[in-house]
Amino acid sequence: MTNATPLEKKTGNETTQENTNKSHASIRLTIGILGPLLLGAILYIGLGGAHYTLIFASILAYMTKPLVGYLSQKGIQSRWICLGFTLVISCIILLFLLVQVPIALSQLISLLSALPKSVALLSKSLQSFLISKGMNPEFIKTSITDNLSSIILRTQNTIVSASSQILSITLNQVSNLLTIIINLMLFPMLYYTLLRHHKQIGDTLSNWLPEESKPFWNLITDCGSQVLSGYIRGQGLIILSLSVLYIIGLQLLQIPFATLIGALTGALTIIPYVGFSIGLCLSLIMGATVDASATHMASILGLFATISILENVILIPQLIGHHLDIHPVIALLAIIIGGNCFGISGFIFAVPASAMVKFILKSSRPQLKGWFNLKARPVKSPPGQ
């Protein structure tokens, strides 16, 4: 039996050391990826309802950051710019909560109270229209009208129940005066800190990360900047544009609660397919109280169809189309999963998060192949060759 040469021993030691280094690097990579995710989960759960304040402050800080940079180039000190933005936005939010929210809640309660009468009138008008077209009245009553009334009644009960739950949750949360004060104080502090010290916060978090995980998080940051920046700003413009169009159109058609329904429809377009569906149903139901003729109902349908075409053909492609390239089925599945897992914030951010994941997977395909050692399998020759 021959003894190993010094060169073979050295090669064996180098191989062992190399394997150890790879193992340590894998551990550091895992910690660097899972650590921030775990920290984010702890913040999300630990902050409770205050995590919405953190998300809202982060979005506003991200949207106003370019304007702060522009004013800083004009020679104004950044701390005064950030302080001014914080004071102005805080005052606007406070006025909105004290003035607009009570008005909106009052109109919403009036709208829900008017629904039963509107549903009955719509059902009666539909029955008269079908009879005028020669259909059997008894067949209409047993097969169409009763079923329609039952469906609309269940929908109404669902809306009322959901509204009651939302109102109950809101009242329970705001019943504690200390909670209100803490949240009102928390927003300006978070907004000012994120707006002025975002670079220092990012550098500090980056210094805590192991070197092996920094390429991963740099990729996440770059993809998030490209997807979320355009999505947030573009979606804000879309919501504003659609709200104005719906309000003007519904007022021209003399729909009761036109301002509330139009604003609600425009705001809910941030959740795909939800705003259009709710707005159309409410407009048809309330429109029946003014004029239940087929012409008026067709006008409402035409209004929503026209604005929907305008949204999908012009607004979305021009404002956020190149940022999101995701199939409608994937978007719908993402909304369902996001809503079930994360509630309201999941509904809102499901689509951009899905687009971001797709963008990351597409951009990091070479890195993923390297991380998981994905190699092309050799093609086997057919038997006999």
Question: Quick check: 353 and 337 in contact, CB under 8 A?
Answer: no
What is the reported pLDDT for 237?
Answer: 84
Two tokens at 123? Answer: 């059902």
Task: Please indicate whether residue 236 or residue 11 has the higher confidence score (pLDDT).
Answer: 236
101 pLDDT band, cuts 50/70/90, is confident
Task: Count CB-CB contacts under 10 A for residue 227.
Answer: 23
Task: Please indicate whether residue 371 or residue 334 has the higher confidence score (pLDDT).
Answer: 334
Task: Count CB-CB contacts under 10 A for residue 115.
Answer: 18
333 pLDDT band, cuts 50/70/90, is confident
Per-residue model confidence as pLDDT tens digits over 171-218: 555 555 666 777 778 889 989 998 888 888 888 888 888 887 888 788
Domain locations in the chain? Answer: 214-371
Q: How distant, in Å, are the alpha carbons of 233, 265, 275, 354 from that of 338? A: 21, 21, 17, 10
What is the reported pLDDT for 3?
Answer: 57
Per-residue model confidence as pLDDT tens digits over 159-175: 555 555 555 545 555 55
Cβ-Cβ contacts under 8 Å for 260 (sequence gap 6 or more): 104, 107, 108, 111
What is the reported pLDDT for 141?
Answer: 61
For the chain, give the percent of residues with pLDDT over 70.
73
pLDDT at position 8 over 60: no
3-state DSSP call for residue 136? coil
pLDDT at position 377 over 50: no
Average of per-residue pLDDT across 314-343: 74
Share the mean pLDDT of the chain.
Answer: 76
Question: Quick check: 286 and 114 in contact, CB under 8 A?
Answer: yes
The rounded distance, in Å, linking the Cα atoms of 159 and 320 is 31
Question: Quick check: 119 and 285 in contact, CB under 8 A?
Answer: yes
Terminal CA-to-CA distance of the chain, rounded, Å? 43
Two tokens at 9? Answer: 């021993």
pLDDT at position 262 over 60: yes
Per-residue model confidence as pLDDT tens digits over 66-83: 888 888 888 888 889 899
Per-residue model confidence as pLDDT tens digits over 214-258: 887 887 787 777 777 777 777 888 888 999 999 999 999 988 888
Torsion, Cα 106 108 114 118, to 10 degrees, reads: 160
Q: Which of 49-58, 124-133, 182-191 has the lowest mean pLDDT?
A: 124-133
What is the reported pLDDT for 385?
Answer: 46
Average of per-residue pLDDT across 320-328: 66
